[in-house]
Amino acid sequence: MDDTWKVGSRIPVAIMNEYHRVNMLESQQDMTKRHKNTRLDLSSIYTYQGVHVLMCQGDEQYVITGIREYARDTITGLKQRFPDNSGDALSAFDMFHLEFLPSDLKSWQDCREMHGVADLKVLMMMIAFIITLGEIM
């Protein structure tokens, strides 16, 4: 797995600031185009702390589309970072939660020899994979 943040941390601050400024200008231009291309069909008028906010249908659609894209990109990123089988390693840590331990002495005595053994095997396989991956790179 690559650490993309390390690359970003090596970029000079002036270049990052210019990148963010250009992106902000592009976003403002998109917003200006949206308002010019849509007639002002007021879908909502909100008042917040004495300020009236006029919302046209284009604004609402822009927000809805943005939320949809953000959710899609977030889900895609999570799927890339955490493949389907990575849940096994994460759920293996449940053996350390007190709520998953038996609540009475008899139940504990019945399962103490095997409690967490399967979870530890999953964690050991994950650690071995990480170590092997580190040796390859």
pLDDT tens digits, one per residue of 12-64: 788 878 887 777 777 766 666 655 555 556 667 778 888 877 777 777 788 88
pLDDT at 77 over 70: yes
φ, ψ for residue 112, nearest 5 deg:
-65, -30
Under 8 Å between Cβ of 12 and 31: no
Specify the length of the chain in residues: 137
Q: What is the pLDDT of residues 8-17, one digit of tens each?
A: 566 778 887 8
The first and second tokens of residue 30, run together, are 């998109």
Host H or E run for residue 23: helix 13-37
In the block, residue with structure tokens 């964690």:
123
Q: Is the pTM of this model over 0.85?
A: no
Residue 45: how many CB atoms within 10 A of its CB? 9
Q: Where are the domains of the chain?
A: 1-37, 39-81, 84-137
